[in-house]
Amino acid sequence: MFKNLLNMIKNETEVEGTDHRILFASLLVRAARVDYDYADAEKKQINKILKKKFNLTETEVEKTRIEGETLESNTIDTVQITRQIKREIPFEYRKALAEDLWSIVLADDKRTDYENSFMRTCIKLIGLSDVDGAKARHAVLNKIDDKNE
């Protein structure tokens, strides 16, 4: 029991000292893995977002995503990640984060109840409203529709 408690404290400390790009990547990975199907389309979308957001090389993108995967695997609770993201990312950029998260969830052309539940919770955890989350989802769906036309 004490070992589990110590691990939780250790994991929280690890999240707090993490580069914001890796934190960002870990939240994207969590969104991709929430349906227990971490598809190649989702990995490609994560890479695309990381490259665009942080102006990274292909090698840096791959490294950042892999470090994000590791952090996500070692972090028990989404709250640990989102709490630190709220400290690192100004409010005005969080709507774009919501769109990025939705683009990951929708990248594999499937939307599960797990993903819907995760997104509702995550939107609130990053300090946005349900309306902001819905607008972000619609913006991503519109981009997908425009791309398919």
The residue that leads in pLDDT, 145 or 85, is: 85
Q: Domain coordinates of the chain in residue numbers?
A: 2-144
Note every long-range contact of 66-71, with CB atoms under 8 Å and residues 24 or more positions apart, other chains counting: 67/22, 67/25, 68/22, 68/23, 68/24, 68/25, 68/26, 68/27, 68/28, 68/29, 69/25, 69/26, 69/29, 71/14, 71/15, 71/18, 71/22, 71/23, 71/25, 71/26
Topology of domain 2-144 in CATH is: TerB-like (1.10.3680)
Amino acid 52: pLDDT: 95
Residue 54 has pLDDT above 50, yes or no: yes
Q: Which of 79-83, 86-90, 130-134 has the lowest mean pLDDT?
A: 86-90
* Band (16; pLDDT cuts 50, 70, 90): low
Whole-model pTM: value is 0.86
d(CA 25, CA 77): 15
